[in-house]
Structure 1
Amino acid sequence: MFLLAAAASLVAQPATAAPARDPHRNPAGMTLVFADEFDGSGLPDPAKWDYATEGNATGWGNQEKQHYTARRPENARVENGRLIIEARAEALPEAAGKAYSSARLVTRGRAAWTYGFYEIKAKLPCGRGTWPAIWMLPEDGSVKWPKGGEIDIMEHVGFEPGKVHHSVHTGAFNFANGTQKTMGQAVPTACTAFHRYQLLWTPDFLVMGVDDDARFMFRKVTGGRDRWPFDKPMHLLLNIAVGGTWGGQQGIDPASLPARMEIDHVRVYQRAPAAAARPAKE
């Protein structure tokens, strides 16, 4: 509980002046290393975001029903100062019979981090069959899931509106074995208001929460990378899946689409590296 309280204190530092629409809340001792405030309009900034489509044919291992597109504004665009990720009921010619389209944005190849404080301010879709997520995977694509770990800062399934989930998956702790480390918490206005979904990642623990309220902690567990793989660079993912082994447990409501996840900002803070020791003057 001490570490949890310390983490809650860390993420709730007083706001400092910043030109951004929403003031920055720099955790003590950390500086901003990545941000997208989604100014402008059109496609997401290609210097910051790529698109993941490689799992379309296999349903991404979760029997998902959507076809993720790339550089298609109907599924991912910036408008009115926000990133819009939109899942739609449509069978695209290239979608091999899938009846839904969506987008899965990643910082892979653009930005990846080890440790830090992550804040994503978002409003979620709530329709049955939608499965929005804000999460992280290893930057090293050769590391097979779940050996490299997965950090789920926020997941929400539409058949449980207003309940968000924070989870960790590793080689030893993962949903395939029913051993994942997870918790759900009520955020009643998750689909009608913006909330700040947050992760504090240190060499010793992960803490996740909403709006500076730290709720879930995973402490470093000894015993090798199967139990704690979180010491290598990871990239960020933002997506809406449709259906799947979890999101589709109670079917897909056609009236729930199109469904949007709106992201107001993405911010990453890290501690500055320690200055090199200087030799004493003679």
Structure 2
Amino acid sequence: MISRGWIIVLILASVACSQDEQSPYETDNSPDQIEGYELVWHDEFNQGQKPDPSNWSYEYGFVRNQELQWYQQDNARIEDGRLVIEGRREQVKNEFYDSTSTEWREERRFAEYTSSSINTRGNQAFQYGLVEVRARIDTARGMWPAIWMLGTHPERGWPANGEIDIMEYYRIEGEPHILANAAWSDGDYSPIWDDAKIPFEKFLEKDPEWPEKYHIWKMDWTEDYIKLYLDGELLNEIDLSETLNPDGFNPFHQPHYILLNLALGSNGGDPSDTSFPKQYEVDYVRVYQKM
């Protein structure tokens, strides 16, 4: 016969196991300390119901790459200690619609999908250090999640201001890939890319349950290089002595701000046969700099 005390212990153990299975994100509010570095900014997404407006702002409408989604605030929320960016199949009227326009942002009467894109522009920007993001991405057809950064120079546009893609997931010739990139200008409004494109099959071979799990993307950024990692594996190293725009400006020797978004369609592929909603979940964003 099992005593009442043992029954209580077994019940508590069962509850703890159940909570562990359902809570794969961190909830302890205790960012790791890294020797030689100071934690200068972080968001653990443990407070409130929406991203903190002192850190994050939103993109709105159709924005880039002829993607399918309409970006709006409603698709980003804080839930159970994580940021959830949700892609939905829903029709939204394009308030910028112009029946006479041939510009893709204006010629569409409706958007058939919605999502969110948030960024720290004007609130938080960083030059050099470590950026670490723990996230879980949905790898279904049509998904294009990203963790990326853009330069802050007020008089320079893209790509002269620089772009760092700590993480992108999308399809190349129909096949899914994880990407780790940086881009700068060729002087003619076109980007020069230093990119790594790793077939997603490589990660599935190591772990068939990879899409169900959280992973850690990290950037190590100094005056000399940018190194981009996934779960401790170096994916790409960019030599910053070679990232000069034609006018001599190096966009990676200036502060950058952070963007988190889930795009749909375009490079992500056709989502018409994909079930919705889809979620891109971010456990935390942490920035460290050398002491």
Which TM-score applies when normalising by structure 1? Answer: 0.78
After superposition, residues 1-282 of structure 1 pair within 5 angstroms as: 21=28, 24-53=31-60, 56-57=61-62, 59-60=63-64, 62-70=65-73, 72=74, 75-94=75-94, 96-157=109-170, 160-161=175-176, 163-172=177-186, 179-185=192-198, 186-188=202-204, 189-222=209-242, 224-226=244-246, 228-244=250-266, 246-248=267-269, 251-272=270-291
| One-letter amino acid of the structure 2 residue matched with residue 221 of structure 1 | S
| Higher-Rg member (1/2) | 2
The alpha-carbon distance between structure 1 residues 230 and 212, as it changes in their structure 2 partners (threshold 3 A), is same
Q: Give the match's secondary structure for 1:45.
A: coil
Post-superposition CA distance 1:174-213 (Å, at most 9, x none): 9956x51111334334421000011011000000011222
| One-letter amino acid of the structure 1 residue matched with residue 69 of structure 2 | Q
The alpha-carbon distance between structure 1 residues 208 and 223, as it changes in their structure 2 partners (threshold 3 A), is closer
Match of 1:16 in 2: none
Post-superposition CA distance 1:135-166 (Å, at most 9, x none): 000123531111011000000016545x4110
Which stretches in structure 1 are left out of the alignment for 5+ residues? 1-18, 273-282
Post-superposition CA distance 1:215-251 (Å, at most 9, x none): 210012257445842011110000001112x223xx2
The alpha-carbon distance between structure 1 residues 174 and 25, as it changes in their structure 2 partners (threshold 3 A), is farther
Q: Is the 8 A contact 1:117 1:269 kept in 2?
A: yes
Identify the structure with the greater strand proportion. Answer: 2
Q: How many residues align?
A: 242
CA–CA separation in structure 1 for the residues paired with 2:49 and 2:94: 23
The alpha-carbon distance between structure 1 residues 190 and 115, as it changes in their structure 2 partners (threshold 3 A), is farther
Q: Is the 8 A contact 1:164 1:187 kept in 2?
A: no
Identify the structure with the greater helix proportion. Answer: 2
Q: Is the 8 A contact 1:127 1:253 kept in 2?
A: no
CA–CA separation in structure 1 for the residues paired with 2:275 and 2:185: 35
- Fraction of identical pairs, as percent: 33
Match of 1:276 in 2: none
CA–CA separation in structure 2 for the residues paired with 1:111 and 1:271: 17
